[in-house]
A = this chain, B = another copy of it.
């Protein structure tokens, strides 16, 4: 049975239920731990499902932050230090990663609270996660306030990547299965990825087999 839910019905849903549904509708989301520290060196770690690819030359990643929520320490640290780390969540650390979303007081480091270890690489000032396979150091390249819902888009340029060699295939493709990186759906469900296929670069005039309707 199919169901249609329109804008006015969505508006009338109970807040938490609406948040659960709408957060799921974009589809699969990346699962990243964002590592920062303040100007006094106090570390912070926050699970973020809103990191996305923005461009490859220059290599830019975007991230949406709602300053009124938990990642506000992350937001403040990035503005003051202009650096952060992105650490792919794998299935071994997904429970710990999710736990960073608890509202810890400012003086508590989530690293310690959730039992993940900070590690510093190449003199980069923000902390990485020792238990993550894929680690990326980013420097703030732009900051756009999105007025319509008071969110902040932070754009970071990749300073360096630190990852297992076998996650990069000979043609440059990042092998997310080799990395073990997981996906998030909605607010709280974590998933492993199982490869269906890599498709060739698409060109016109390749016929596609008919598929039945949903």
CB <8 Å contact, A61 and B188: no
Q: Are B202 and A195 in contact (CB under 8 A)?
A: no
What are the residues of chain B within 8 A of A51 when measuring CB–CB?
A: 26-27
| Chain A 132-152 per-residue mask, 1 if CB under 8 angstroms from chain B, else 0 | 111010000110101111010
Is A88 among interface residues, defined by CB-CB distance under 8 A? yes
Name which residue of chain B comes closest to A206, CB basis: B99
Interface code A155-182, partner B: CB below 8 Å = 1, 0 otherwise? 1011111111110100111111100011
Chain A contact patch, size range? 35 or more
Measured CA separation A164–B113 after assembly (Å): 40
Beta-carbon contact of A99 and B188 below 8 Å? no
Asked if B172 contacts A191 (CB within 8 A), the reply is no
A158 near B7: Cβ-Cβ < 8 Å: yes
Tell whether A80 is near chain B: CB-to-CB under 8 Å: no
Taking the closest CB of chain B, its distance from the CB of A209, in whole angstroms, is 7
Q: Is the CB of A174 within 8 A of B25?
A: yes
Q: Which residue of B lies closest to A16 (CB)?
A: B172
Q: Is B10 a contact of A29 with CB atoms below 8 Å?
A: no
Q: A30 with B22: in contact, given A4-B161, A155-B146, A204-B102 (CB under 8 Å)?
A: no
| Contact B117–A213 (Cβ < 8 Å) | yes
Contact check, B100 vs A202: say whether CB atoms are below 8 A apart.
Answer: yes
- In the complex, A141 Cα to B192 Cα: how many Å? 33
Contact (Cβ within 8 A) B146 A208 = no
Tell whether, in the assembled complex, residue B31 and residue A164 are in contact, meaning their CB atoms are under 8 Å apart: no
Is there a chain B Cβ closer than 8 Å to A72's Cβ?
no
State the Cβ distance, A127 to closest chain B Cβ, in Å.
14
A130 to B174 alpha-carbon distance, docked (Å)? 32
Tell me whether A202 and B96 are in contact (CB under 8 A). Answer: no
Residues of A within 8 A of B (CB): 1-7, 10-11, 13-32, 49-62, 64, 66, 86, 88, 90-96, 98-105, 108, 113-117, 121-122, 130-134, 136, 141-142, 144, 146-149, 151, 153, 155, 157-166, 168, 171-177, 181-204, 206-214
